[in-house]
């Protein structure tokens, strides 16, 4: 197909279609880049109210700029209204869920973290998505999560969704307040994210039914299935996060995407989660993840009762034996032999408990935690009695598990736009090594060259000292339109030098030629004197020879 919109967007191929619009891959000839163009279906063109809402929301979405959000570049009309967006190579999260769910716990948590980053940024600008679902989330080849259709869902009324047929796909992720027709708030997006997180971890939706109405009623009235029963690997901490996201009462959900981010980062770092107990008389519950054999909560209480009962029984038995056998016999029975304490270094809590049990010892009820740069997370970094020491059989040995590399609040490097050198110094002072920092350069019309434009994760995030940090650094003024230099007949090295001065991205192809000597440029794409954006792609065709006869 070949159609040009607004004199600049050349449609190349269809890449997606929904009830509301058709999406095309296209080339922006003015800026020399690949874009996605979403064209509204014809039945919406006659609804002027809808078209006006659609344009307003698309323009609002265009104000959002974030690494986890698909950017909106332009809005226009030619036969039908259209939106021009960032073109993202990747697959929808829905396809990944169909192919690979249930996801590993850390993978699901990382996807949720990146979506939460996008929501936190949009919500801070007063923009609510209103249609968060895995079909609107794209995963790139390098694992970057991109949320699309921000703000556009607001233009789509419930009637429009029903007419378009999209309600069947969206109703699974609809918050209770949306189902009631009440005002949509930031926590509505968080509820939808909770459904997605449940689906990633279990491979199924928390609420399903034979019709959209049946599914809506379940959102309103039913409790989601137990996540731990569907996937024991999820663990109590992550299940609690999902439960808070799926709370039907907005007041019991996370207050913001930022609050959710804090819990997700804590969970991924193996740290304890904290939340207010809204059901009880007050106070804060603190949950700590220490492995499946953690001796806490009900198990700790049962164990204490068992110890008390065992001690009482032992005392009574001792009196009976003393009366029957005499003091010397009692001494022999009560004699406790010595055993050697095993080395527990780098063992998990479960492995340490088994090693102590095999040695005739007992693990302490309270397992301690501390940060470590050298010991892997959730492994023993110290023990209360040194290895190889002799102690009485049955002695309690306390252990300390590593919480992994310390978590450090990320400094703010995007507000005052420091130079890259100063940014790295500030990161080093905060405790982040230089090798943890990766740099992406991009043109900027507002930030000076070699100064920080943006960062990921966002400022204030508690981050592992060795965790990856990405800085976007300005390469100088934004690229401008220019003309293609004439490099025909030059050597490939000379041509590349000239083109690099204009920031072109050069690709070299070769072909045999009887007219041009070896290594001479035969042709270029674009051709000489054609308009081209700086930084755009250029293809050189270079001669392999043999060239003209001598």
User: Residue ranges of the domains in the chain?
Assistant: 3-86, 90-287, 297-402, 407-474, 481-546
* Kind plus residue range of the DSSP H or E element containing 119: helix 105-124
**Distances 9 to 4, 180, 279, 296 between C-alpha atoms, Å:** 5, 41, 56, 62
Is residue 360 predicted with pLDDT exceeding 60?
yes
User: Looking at the domain 90-287, which fold is it?
Assistant: Transferase(Phosphotransferase); domain 1 (1.10.510)
Instruction: Report the phi/psi class of residue 235: left, alpha or beta, with left for phi > 0 and alpha for psi in -120 to 50.
Output: left
Question: Residues 515-543: pLDDT tens digits?
Answer: 999 999 999 999 999 999 887 899 999 99
From the number of C-beta atoms within 10 Å of its C-beta (0-12, 13-18, 19+), residue 248 rates as: middle
Question: Residues 198-225: pLDDT tens digits?
Answer: 999 999 999 998 888 889 999 999 999 9
Question: Residues 269-282: pLDDT tens digits?
Answer: 888 887 654 443 33
**Distances 162 to 39, 94, 208, 266, 274 between C-alpha atoms, Å:** 19, 21, 18, 40, 40
**CATH 3.30.10.20 matches 481-546:** yes
Average pLDDT (462-489) is 87
* Strand pairing category for 531-533 and 505-513: unpaired
User: What tokens appear for 257 in the block?
Assistant: 């995407």
Residue ranges of the alpha helices (H) in 279-403? Answer: 297-325, 327-334, 349-358
User: What tokens appear for 502 in the block?
Assistant: 């204009």
pLDDT range class, residue 366, cuts 50, 70, 90: confident
Averaged pLDDT of the chain: 82
pLDDT at 278: 45
Q: Which CATH architecture describes the domain 297-402?
A: 2-Layer Sandwich (3.30)
Phi–psi pair at 49, nearest 5 degrees: -60, -45
Distance CA(418)–CA(447), nearest Å, equals 10
Handedness of CA 346, 351, 356, 360 (dihedral sign): negative
pLDDT at 336: 57
Contact 62, 49 (CB under 8 A): no
Which CATH number is associated with domain 407-474?
Answer: 3.30.10.20
Is residue 166 predicted with pLDDT exceeding 50?
no
Average pLDDT (72-90) is 88
* Strand pairing category for 137-140 and 90-92: antiparallel
Contact 456, 463 (CB under 8 A): no
131 as an active site residue: the answer is yes
* Given 28, 74, 81, 131, the catalytic residue: 131
Distance CA(366)–CA(369), nearest Å, equals 10
Residue ranges of the alpha helices (H) in 133-234? Answer: 158-164, 167-170, 176-179, 186-202, 212-221, 227-230
Is residue 454 predicted with pLDDT exceeding 80?
yes
Is residue 436 predicted with pLDDT exceeding 80?
yes
* 407-474 and 481-546: identical CATH topology: yes
Average pLDDT (97-108) is 90
pLDDT at 449: 87
pLDDT range class, residue 363, cuts 50, 70, 90: confident
Only one residue has tokens 């459904």, namely 195
Residue 363 pairs in a beta bridge with 397
Residue 73 pairs in a beta bridge with none
Say whether 445 sits in a helix, a strand or coil: coil
> Which residues neighbour 159 within 8 Å (Cβ) at sequence distance 6 or greater?
none
pLDDT at 151: 56
Residue 368 pairs in a beta bridge with 400
User: What tokens appear for 509 in the block?
Assistant: 């192809």
Planar angle of CA 364, 365, 366, nearest 5 degrees: 95
Which of 85-94, 132-141, 238-247, 294-303 bottoms out in mean pLDDT, i.e. has the lowest? 294-303
* Homologous superfamily of domain range 3-86: Phosphorylase Kinase; domain 1 (3.30.200.20)
Strand 380-383's sheet: what is its strand order? 368-370, 399-402, 380-383
**Distances 445 to 120, 269, 280, 451, 477 between C-alpha atoms, Å:** 25, 37, 54, 12, 5
pLDDT at 299: 46
**Distances 517 to 249, 513, 526 between C-alpha atoms, Å:** 76, 8, 22
């Amino acid at each position: 197909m070949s159609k040009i919109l607004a004199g600049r967007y050349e449609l190349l191929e269809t890449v997606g279609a929904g009830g509301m619009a058709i999406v095309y891959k296209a080339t922006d000839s003015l800026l020399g880049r690949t874009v996605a163009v979403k064209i509204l279906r014809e039945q919406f063109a006659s609804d002027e109210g809808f078209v006006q809402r659609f344009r307003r929301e698309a323009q609002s979405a265009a104000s959002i700029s974030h690494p986890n959000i698909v950017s909106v570049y332009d809005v226009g009309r030619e036969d039908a209204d259209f939106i021009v967006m960032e073109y993202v190579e990747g697959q929808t999260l829905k396809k990944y869920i169909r192919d690979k769910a249930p996801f590993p716990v850390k993978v699901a948590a990382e996807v949720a973290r990146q979506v939460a980053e996008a929501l936190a940024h949009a919500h801070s600008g007063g923009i609510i998505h209103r249609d968060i679902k895995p079909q609107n989330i794209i995963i790139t080849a390098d694992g970057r999560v991109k949320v699309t259709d921000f703000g556009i869902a607001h233009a789509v009324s419930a009637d429009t969704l029903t007419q378009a047929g999209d309600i069947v796909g969206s109703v699974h992720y609809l918050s209770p307040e949306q189902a009631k027709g009440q005002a949509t708030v930031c926590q509505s997006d968080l509820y939808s994210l909770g459904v997605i997180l449940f689906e990633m971890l279990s491979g199924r939706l928390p609420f399903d039914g034979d019709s959209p109405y049946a599914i809506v009623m379940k959102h309103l009235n039913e409790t989601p299935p137990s996540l731990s029963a569907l996937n024991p690997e999820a663990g109590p901490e992550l299940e609690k996060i999902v439960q808070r996201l799926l709370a039907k009462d907005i007041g019991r959900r996370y207050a913001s995407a930022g609050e959710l981010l804090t819990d997700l980062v804590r969970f991924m770092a193996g740290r304890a989660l904290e939340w207010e107990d809204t059901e009880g008389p007050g106070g804060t519950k603190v949950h700590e993840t220490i492995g499946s054999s953690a001796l806490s909560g009900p198990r700790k209480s049962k164990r204490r009762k068992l110890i008390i009962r065992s001690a009482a029984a032992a005392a009574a038995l001792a009196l009976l034996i003393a009366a029957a056998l005499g003091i010397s016999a009692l001494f022999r029975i009560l004699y406790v032999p010595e055993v050697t304490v095993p080395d527990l270094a780098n063992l998990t809590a479960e492995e340490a408990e088994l090693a102590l049990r095999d040695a005739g010892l007992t693990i302490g009820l309270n397992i301690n935690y501390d940060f470590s740069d050298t010991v892997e997370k959730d492994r023993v970094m110290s023990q209360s009695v040194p290895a190889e020491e002799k102690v009485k059989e049955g002695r309690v040995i306390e252990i300390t598990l590593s919480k992994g590399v310390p978590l450090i609040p990320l400094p703010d490097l995007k507000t005052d736009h420091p130079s890259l050198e100063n940014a790295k110094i500030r990161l080093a002072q905060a405790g982040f090594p230089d090798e943890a920092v990766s740099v992406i350069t991009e043109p900027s019309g507002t930030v000076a060259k070699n100064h920080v434009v943006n960062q990921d994760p966002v400022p204030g995030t508690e981050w592992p000292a060795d965790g990856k940090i990405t800085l976007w650094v300005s390469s100088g003024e934004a690229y401008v339109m220019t003309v293609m230099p004439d490099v025909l007949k030059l050597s490939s090295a000379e041509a590349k030098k000239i083109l690099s001065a204009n920031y072109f991205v050069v690709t070299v192809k070769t072909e045999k030629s009887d007219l041009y000597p070896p290594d001479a440029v035969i042709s270029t794409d674009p051709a000489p004197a054609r308009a081209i954006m700086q930084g755009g792609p250029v293809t050189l065709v270079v001669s392999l020879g043999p060239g003209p006869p001598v």
